[in-house]
Structures are given as structure tokens and as C-alpha cells.
Structure 1
Amino acid sequence: MGAKYIPEPFRIKMVETIKMLTREERKQKIAEAKYNMFNLRGEDVYIDLLTDSGTNAMSQEQWAGVIRGDEAYAGGSSYFKLVEAAQDIFGYKYIQPVHQGRAAEKVMFGILLGQDKYSISNTHFDTTRAHVEATGARAIDCVVEVAKDPAKRAPFKGNMDVEKLESLIKEYGDNKVGLVVMTITNNSAGGQPVSVQNVRETAAICKNHGIKLCIDAARYAENAYFVKEREEGYSDKSIKEIVKEMFGYADMFTMSAKKDTIVNMGGLIGVKDDEKLFQACKERTILFEGFITYGGLSGRDLESLAIGLYEGLDENYLKYRIGQMKYLASRLDEAGITYQSPVGGHGVFVDAKAMLPQIPFYEFPAQALAIELYIEAGIRSCDIGSYMMGNDPDTGKQIKSEFEFTRLAIPRRVYTQSHFDVMADALISIKERASEIHGYRITWEPAVLRHFQASLEPVEI
């Protein structure tokens, strides 16, 4: 018996019309997009699972906040509401808004990283890796080994491999490791959670070597929900209590607020108590984002973000949110389709390598599956695999990813059970003809973050 769909803890007050193109039209559209999901027009997509970043449905309280937003250039009331909310939730003294997560990385990483430095993470996501490399540093991933087997179930597959972390620091030297980044949940590893114990152990290693620990906090609330469900000693704690403890072990955080704070635009930097570091952050924010009390955001964005920080912690909402993933995963279990299991917090990461074993990593099986999903049912998803990883910055050779996932990232408060059944049915149909599917080659690519812009073509057999 599969998982029961969790009823939505809200009523729908406004709808957006979407349309389904014919199969022939979808084939034409993806070819015109040069087989790049980012090149598709949104209006030509039926169910959009490209990302859960900024694609959320805001609440009536957030929309009311949009009207109340204070648009003062300096010192607006919406800024202070946001700072006070973030200080309350995370327990950090210093909070800086920015326009999104990659802006937070640009501000922070330029201070702590540089030529011949290293950043070590449980897994760097694409933009995080790019910002590390943009400073001249190198990004090293250090996720636990169990994460590399999608079919194997473990409660915290997003964890840092602490023994490997210790050996990497000794290999590179304390003075060469500019930063350790703990991504919660671990996006590239399948939206998998990180335990409080693992954060605590990682923090102890960092403190022993005099290295700053930064939390990539995009999906902090979903991670806390998994801790409450799975980690001994936390079942009776509130989500807010779990969040405050986890963040208490780190020195700073960067956040794309476009995920767990359920807004369409926004980001945050948090610094626990290092005034000198925060002053450097403020200087770079003014340089790249605008004045510190708006940080590249309008007052209405700041207001809705302050409200969303609390809404994202609601346990009834989180139960529904994670329940959607469990429902889709149960449909895939019944069909024998492998995904990163147990299912993560913000999407289902289908194991394209298992479904399409005939396609080698350099012909991008996860991208091939994403293309087939669009052709099959108008579903836009994305590659989290070798296509996204790109080329080695030193050798220029294609990197072979540890994973070949096609990510179905689920926007918050947007899709219903019927949409999830369309997703499952499409994957089941594709599985039945999987042996007929071929790979893709790149015909053009930019130097940085190629998957956003590259052109592809089918590999002729």
C-alpha cells in the first residue's frame, strides 16, 4: 500500500491557467529550445518542476505584506521586521538581506576564499561551486558514501563524511581551507537531510582547525522536519528549536530565501557574532547589491520574506510538504523506478543511470530523461548529474558525476494530487520504452554554469 496523499492545509483563492501542448508540439518546442530545459518558454510547460526556487505560492498574509512594504532607500521598517524575524529564528546577531542565494555566496565567498584556497562541503550545488571557483578557489565534495547508492535507504544521506573531512583538511592544510560549507538539505545528493549530530561533529573539526563553518540554509526548515522525524532526542522539539540548535554550531550562513521562506525573490546572510566579518559583508553588499537596508530587494520583498520565515516553520505545512514527496515516491516504488531514497525534502531525484543504463555519463542520461519527461507529459525538470557538473576547471575535461539524477523539484503550495499522478504516470510510460532512448551531445557551451545556456543535439545511432 502506497503513501496516503496529505490533504493541503490551505484553501485555493486564486488560480493560474496552464495548458497542455500536443506531443508533436512538445517535440517541436524542445528541439527549438536546443534540448535545454531552461530555453523553454514557461507558457509551453504544463507542470514546471525545473526548480522549487522562487516558484512558490505566497499566502494571503504575505500578499498583504507586499502592500505594507516600506520602500524607503535606507532604514525602512520592512528591513527591521526581517532582521528581527531572522535573529529570532536563527539566533545570529548580524543579518544582511540580499536578492538571492548566489548573491549571498558572492558577498561571503569573496571574503573567505581566493587563489589556492579550498572549500569543502557535504556537496556544493552548481551556483555554490561556481562562486567558489570564481574566487580562484576549488570546491571539494565530501558527502557520506551511503549517499552514492540511490537504492540504499539511510536516514541522513546528506551528511558530511567527517573522517574524510578531517583527512582533507590535513592534506590541504588548515591555512588553505578557507571554508567548510554544510548544505541543508543536501540538494545535489537528492534533497537529503543532515543530522544535528553531524553538524555538531563537523563544527568541532572546524573549530579545532580554526576554519569557518558556513551553513547553506536554502532548505533549513525541511531539514529540521526530517531531524524531528528521524533523529533520536528531537521528536518532542519544535522545528524552531531544532533550527536554532543547528545554526548555533556554525559561524555564518548563506541562504536562498526563495525556497523554505516561500517567497519569489530574496536571500539572506547571517553572521553569528563576528563583527569584523559582518562589516566586510556590508561593504560588499553595498558594492554588489545596494544599500544594506534593502540589499537588492524592494520593501515588499523584505516584508513578505519576514512573514515567510515563520510560515515555513509551521509543522502542519511541513507535514503536507514532505508528504507530497512521499506520495510521488510511493508511486515510483510500486512501478520499480529507482530514485534517491528515502525521498528528500524538495523533490524526487530519479536515478536516470538506473533507468537508462545504455547512455554513458558523457551523453547525459539525466538530461535525456528530462527531455523525455517533457515530450511525454509537458513536465519540465532538470539534470543533476554530469551535464550540470560541467568540465574540470583545471583540465577542461568532462567531470563524471557521482550521481545522474533527473530532479523533479516541487514548488511549494502549487500542485495537487492529480498533478503528482501525471508525474508518476509519465515516468512509468517512459520506463516502458527506456531501451529506445538515446543520449545527447553538447554543440555549444559557455565557460561558466553551462547547463543554463548550452545547446544540445541527439546522439545519432
Structure 2
Amino acid sequence: MSVKYVPEPFRIKMVETIKMLTREERIQKIAEAKYNMFNLKGEDVYIDLLTDSGTNAMSQEQWAGVMRGDEAYAGSSSYFKLVAAGQDIFGYEYIQPVHQGRAAEKVMFELLMGKGQYSISNTFFDTTRAHVEATGARAIDCVVAEAKDPSIRAPFKGNMDVVKLESLINEYGVDKIGLVVMTITNNSAGGQPVSMENVRKTAEICKKYGIKLCIDAARYAENAFFVKQREEGYADVSIKDIVKEMFGFADMFTMSAKKDTIVNMGGLIGIKDDKELVTLCKARTILFEGFISYGGLSGRDLESLAIGLYEGLNEDYLKYRIGQMEYLAGRLDEAGIAYQAPVGGHGVFVDAKALLPQIPYYEFPGQALAIELYIEAGIRTCDIGSYMLGNDPDTLEQLHSEFEFTRFAIPRRVYTQSHIDIMADALIAIKERSSSIKGYKITWEPPVLRHFQASLAPIE
């Protein structure tokens, strides 16, 4: 085996026991869960890759911070530590804690768009798309063409198609575009990074037409690492300085801090220079999240989040973090299993359409592969494809996703090389019997974000 594993830049101090059910038990459990990965109990999962959101292992410094958390309702010292960290890293004057990323979107999006308008992104993630649609607006994806071919190895496949962006603005009219959102890294396109140049060009277009630019900042540190590794002129620039430069192009950001800030709960809003928007944001935070100095979080959450903001920027940690993805991708390369290449920042997005070509998009190859992975090795993953994309909000017809991925979202500082080898071995075993795998149909679904709750059944 030629691929090498980057050793962990930490020692393990505390462990959590996990167990592997028998194959017969796993077949029973997934049937009881109505073939929905979200319905499985955590204790019935051996390796949990459903998400990297809030599933991270905190450091001893963060746990010490938990004990120091100031639980004052107003004016907590932990709040001021968090604000100071956010101002230092992102360069924005106003930093608002909220309880998670979708809370940030709930607070902000209704202030920026409404019925009859559109929001454009390099690619919206599912919950962000839902929050756009909840305002009455419609979400439009505008990712570069190379992202749509998993086999093309381009350095920044998460980029905005800036030519198409300007064309869309002119097509719909400036007054119809409520917000442009730059997702870094681009999750739905495979955790793919966005270049500094692309953010700058996107910002120039937004400024030209007077449209606000928001960064969806869930994986901002991983994106900065890719800029340092791949973009000319940044090899000798610190991760922190790359982050500050990139955020300087935007007007605001929303963040799920449950990813790159390596905590189990938390989110942030940042606003650069807009006193009116800050005032409105404060009012909605109080309405939905609690007082502005805690934003739906305990003081101990605020404290660990302030520490995690800096830990997530550590270059040795990021090298190991991305190295885990590269190791799994290398094993898949040796086995001839396709994925969104080059590998992204927070996970490996296996090309389920390539592995299961006999399953059409409306029978959900990404979900079918996720189910097989649980049956094969107790691994819980999720579909990033037509099943997650759902139905058109106006026609209610099944949408055809440009991607049919099964996402291996790897939590931070949680799994070892042995676990990753199990992931690769499971995929190799499934590949050997892939022609016999069939698709799934939905037997019940809710009207919004169906993949969290839907019931499915195998197609006989």
C-alpha cells in the first residue's frame, strides 16, 4: 500500500466505547429505521460519519474552558472572550453568538430577502437552501463547471462561476437578488475549496451591483489551508492572515461553529460595517436565541468556542485533518473507486452514480450506498444527491441533482487510521457486489428537508 497516513498531532486522553453489531442485527436495525440513516440509534453505529457537525473531540484546553465558563445572563466574561477572538480572526466589528449555523441563517436571512427574490451561491447546503426558501425567495446554485465532473482534478472546484453569476444578476434584475452566499468550503460539491481570487472576483461583482455578499463560514479554516497549499502567492502566508483577507471581501458571515471551531454546539454571525443591520440582527437574536451576550448558548459553550476558534487554525492540526481525507482517497484510488477529486476538506464524497450506475437518480444511488455501508460494516454516512435535494418547491417534482454522492464526513480528532481502513475495506467489498444492489423509493416524506425524516423501502 503506497498511501501514507499523517500521524495525529495529539495524544488520546479519554475514550468512548463503541461496538459492532452482527450483520444480521444491522440488517434488522436499518429496516426498523425505515432505511433512513437519521433514524438509527447512535449506539447501533460502529463508525459514525453522518456528519462532522458537532461530533468533534474537544481538547483539554476547551474542556478546561468549560469549567471556567461564566454563566451570567448578560455581559458574561466568556462572551467578551468570544467576541474578542472573532474580531481578531475575522476583522469584523460585530460578532454575535447563536446556537448553531441554521440559527444564524434564521436570524439573518429574513432581513435580506423575501418573496419574489433570489439568492445565489456557489452551492447551497440543504438547510441553507431551506432557510432561503422559508423567506419566500428561491435558491440558485452557481458552481463552476468542473465541480460537476468528479473525475476532473482541479484545485478549486468549489468556486463560484462568476460569469454565470453576473449573467443571473442581469437576467433576474438587481432588485430581485437579495443576497449572494459564498460557501467555504463548498460542502455539497464535495467539501471543495474556494480560491482567494474567486472570492475577490465575486465580491467585485456584488459591489458593482450593490448586492451584499455573505460567507457561509462553517469550514473556513480548512478552506484557508487549501488556499495556502494550492494558490499562488500564499505558501508563506499564515492561515490566520488568509482567513482575515478572505473575510475582508464579504459584508457578513454566518457560521456553524460545530465544524472548524471543533465544538459540539455553537454558531456565529459576523457583520462588517452596517449599523442598521446590526440593530436588526440584535433584535432578532433576542427574539429567537436569547439575549445577545449568550445567543442560545451557555457560558461554557462560549468559552470553549473562543478557544476552538484558534485551535482550528493550527497548521499542524490542519495538515493532519486534510491528511486523513487524502489517506482514505488514496486507498480508494488504489481500488478504482471514484469520488469527488481531489479530495475535499471535511470528508470523502464517493461517487455513488459511478459505483451503482444501474440505479437512476429517482431511486437514490447515494442513499442506497449509504445503506449498504451500514449493512457491510456498521458505518453511518449520508446521501448528498437527489434524495437530499428533494422536490421542486413550486412543482413538487423530484429534482435531479448534479451529484449523487455518499458523504464520508469525518469528525475532527475522533477516528484513527484503523477506522479509516475499515471505511475503505467496506467500500471495496461493496464494489465487488455492486451490480446486485438496487435502489429505494420514498414511502412517506415531510414537505421540507425530507431526508431528516422520510421513510424508504427497497425496490424489489
Tell me the TM-score range normalised by the shorter chain. over 0.9
TM-score, reference length from structure 2: 1.00
- Taking the aligned partners of 2:3 and 2:331, their CA distance within structure 1 comes to 8
**2:371 partner amino acid:** I
Deviation at 1:273, TM superposition (A): 1.2
Instruction: Tell me the SS of whatever aligns to 2:181.
Output: strand
- Taking the aligned partners of 2:57 and 2:2, their CA distance within structure 1 comes to 27
**2:346 partner amino acid:** H
Write the deviation string for residues 339-374 of structure 1: whole angstroms up to 9, x where unpaired.
000000000000000000000000000000000000
Aligned residue in 2 for 1:45: 45
Aligned residue in 1 for 2:388: 388
Aligned residue in 2 for 1:241: 241
Q: From the superposition, tell whether residues 241 and 415 of structure 1 become closer, same or farther in structure 2 (CA, over 3 Å).
A: same
- Taking the aligned partners of 1:119 and 1:410, their CA distance within structure 2 comes to 29
Instruction: Tell me the SS of whatever aligns to 2:174.
Output: coil
Instruction: Tell me the SS of whatever aligns to 2:164.
Output: helix
Aligned residue in 1 for 2:91: 91
- Taking the aligned partners of 2:326 and 2:455, their CA distance within structure 1 comes to 34
Report whether the alignment pairs 1:28 with 2:28.
yes
Aligned residue in 2 for 1:14: 14
Aligned residue in 2 for 1:145: 145
Aligned residue in 2 for 1:4: 4
- Taking the aligned partners of 1:69 and 1:393, their CA distance within structure 2 comes to 43
CA contact (8 A) 1:2 1:327 kept: no
Deviation at 1:2, TM superposition (A): 3.4
- Taking the aligned partners of 2:241 and 2:2, their CA distance within structure 1 comes to 32
Instruction: Tell me the SS of whatever aligns to 1:175.
Output: helix
Deviation at 1:4, TM superposition (A): 1.1
Aligned residue in 1 for 2:266: 266
Report whether the alignment pairs 1:322 with 2:330.
no
Write the deviation string for residues 245-274 of structure 1: whole angstroms up to 9, x where unpaired.
000000000000000000000000000111
Write the deviation string for residues 8-57 of structure 1: whole angstroms up to 9, x where unpaired.
00000000000000000000000000000000000000000000000000
Show structure 1 runs of 5+ residues with no match: none
- Taking the aligned partners of 2:167 and 2:328, their CA distance within structure 1 comes to 39
Aligned residue in 2 for 1:441: 441
Aligned residue in 2 for 1:173: 173
Instruction: Tell me the SS of whatever aligns to 1:73.
Output: coil
**1:285 partner amino acid:** T
Aligned residue in 2 for 1:336: 336
Aligned residue in 2 for 1:405: 405
Write the deviation string for residues 273-328 of structure 1: whole angstroms up to 9, x where unpaired.
11111111111000000000000000000000000000000000000000000000
Write the deviation string for residues 189-215 of structure 1: whole angstroms up to 9, x where unpaired.
000000000000000000000000000
Aligned residue in 1 for 2:256: 256
Aligned residue in 2 for 1:226: 226
Instruction: Tell me the SS of whatever aligns to 2:261.
Output: coil
- Taking the aligned partners of 2:458 and 2:7, their CA distance within structure 1 comes to 41
CA contact (8 A) 1:148 1:403 kept: yes
**2:148 partner amino acid:** K
- Taking the aligned partners of 2:118 and 2:279, their CA distance within structure 1 comes to 23
Task: Please show how residues 125-164 of structure 1 align to structure 2 within 5 Å.
Answer: 125-164=125-164
- Taking the aligned partners of 2:327 and 2:142, their CA distance within structure 1 comes to 30
Report whether the alignment pairs 1:371 with 2:371.
yes
Please tell me the root mean square deviation across aligned C-alpha atoms, in Å: 0.4
- Taking the aligned partners of 1:429 and 1:381, their CA distance within structure 2 comes to 16
TM-score, reference length from structure 1: 1.00
Aligned residue in 2 for 1:311: 311
Aligned residue in 2 for 1:54: 54
Task: Please show how residues 206-221 of structure 1 align to structure 2 within 5 Å.
Answer: 206-221=206-221
Write the deviation string for residues 115-143 of structure 1: whole angstroms up to 9, x where unpaired.
00100000000000000000000000000
Instruction: Tell me the SS of whatever aligns to 1:28.
Output: helix
- Taking the aligned partners of 2:275 and 2:24, their CA distance within structure 1 comes to 59
Write the deviation string for residues 143-188 of structure 1: whole angstroms up to 9, x where unpaired.
0000000011000000000000000000111111000000000000
Stretches (4+) displaced over 6 A:
none
Show structure 2 runs of 5+ residues with no match: none
- Taking the aligned partners of 2:6 and 2:224, their CA distance within structure 1 comes to 19
CA contact (8 A) 1:92 1:270 kept: yes
Write the deviation string for residues 79-114 of structure 1: whole angstroms up to 9, x where unpaired.
000000000000001000000000000111010010
Deviation at 1:3, TM superposition (A): 2.8
Percent identity reads: 84
**2:344 partner amino acid:** G
